[in-house]
Amino acid sequence: MTRRTIRRFLPDASKIRHHKHLRWFGRLLHDPSLWHLNRRSVAGAFAIGLFMAFVPMPLQMIPAAALAILFRVNLAIAVALVWITNPFTMPPIFYFTYHLGAWVLNTPAPPVAFDMSWEWMTAQVGRIWQPFVLGSLLTAGASAVLGYFGIRALWRWHVIRDWERRKRKRQGRTSTSV
């Protein structure tokens, strides 16, 4: 994917600077490194965005933005990636993370009889929070590492492919001009 293609999908920097939830970052949003599209910035943004996507907390965009500012990586990509977990994808993702945590802790998943009441909800949270949080953090860490190194490898492959294409093009031009 070329930079032009990535830029087409990213929002304008001024739009993000004036976003109601990100405005309190103030002048920090004017750092040019937050808007660059280079291998380091995009890979770091993927790591932060993927990590925060799997952390079970509300308003994941704010800590993702804070981490992107702290590590000076692409802010828009980091914030956009937290939407991997959205109202449609949360149930299967959280189900998986709970079962992963239960497997790591070697605790059997209890049968659940669903009852839409506050008492039932607080009792269930008390039983499942440890495997759920552990599974979420393991998934967050693994996806961040895979995203970081995956983007770096993909970026490198893309650059090498472009170099080779230009090299073949130059060789074709020099052999026809002789």
Distance of CA 167 to the CA centre of its chain: 34
- In whole angstroms, give the CA distance from residue 93 to residue 155: 28
Sign of CA dihedral 37, 39, 42, 48: negative
pLDDT of the residue at 35: 73
pTM of structure: 0.75
Taking only the tens place, the pLDDT of each residue in 65-100 is 889 988 989 888 898 899 888 888 888 888 888 888
pLDDT of the residue at 116: 61
Phi-psi region of 11 (alpha: psi -120 to 50; beta: other; left: phi over 0): beta
Using an 8 Å Cβ cutoff, are 48 and 73 in contact? Answer: yes
- In whole angstroms, give the CA distance from residue 147 to residue 46: 6
In the block, residue with structure tokens 């004036």: 18
pLDDT of the residue at 129: 79
In the chain, % of residues over pLDDT 70 = 72
- In whole angstroms, give the CA distance from residue 37 to residue 42: 6
Confidence grade of residue 146 (pLDDT, cut at 50, 70, 90) = very high
pLDDT at residue 1 tops 60: no
Confidence grade of residue 126 (pLDDT, cut at 50, 70, 90) = confident
